[in-house]
Copies of this chain bind each other. A is one copy, B any other.
């Protein structure tokens, strides 16, 4: 015997999470046993509830417990702009800064020819459907600044521009607080290209 079955099973469950190896899983499992009954019950309930109650908004693809989601149904938001992101987490990051008040569209992935993921494999068709007969004037592409993110941005821009929709993307440049010395070449190139007047 190494561990009693119930704890061995719990260690196994924890070790299925990303970035959690067997040692951390063991530490977490033992810690859980020392937690209050209430906290453990809540944990189990929250796991099941998150899996059961969350769904993807049929309009924008964002993770939500109400379909359509609270952003899509909020009439006070600017209906003329849609910000396109890869994941629901990106929506939260954007909402945190409280600067953007338009709508969102969550792709649920990026076009990645290397991994065999094409335009039909992400939530892109619904974006095009949304744009038909809608008051949307600008589509802001906010995919990650990676190769796949750029490829996706380029693809969307090529599809939407002929329809006369303004397509923009987030600025590239030096991250605030970063050192020029350690900036990579491409970032520095973009930063000098897109320099702004003081």
Contacts and interface: CB of A to CB of B under 8 A. Distances in A.
Interface of A: 1-7, 9-10, 12-13, 16-19, 24, 26-33, 35, 37, 39-51, 53-54, 63-66, 69-71, 87-89, 92, 95-96
B31 A13 contact: no
* Count of this chain's copies in the oligomeric assembly: 2
Given A46-B10, A48-B41, A17 B1 contact: no
Given A54-B33, A96-B2, A49 B9 contact: yes
Contacts of A28: 17-18
Contacts of A66: 4
A102 to B, nearest CB: 15
A55 to B, nearest CB: 9
Contacts of A40: 47-48, 51
A110 to B, nearest CB: 16
B46 A13 contact: yes
Contacts of A37: 51
Contacts of A63: 4, 7, 30, 33
B96 A30 contact: no
A18 B27 CA distance: 8
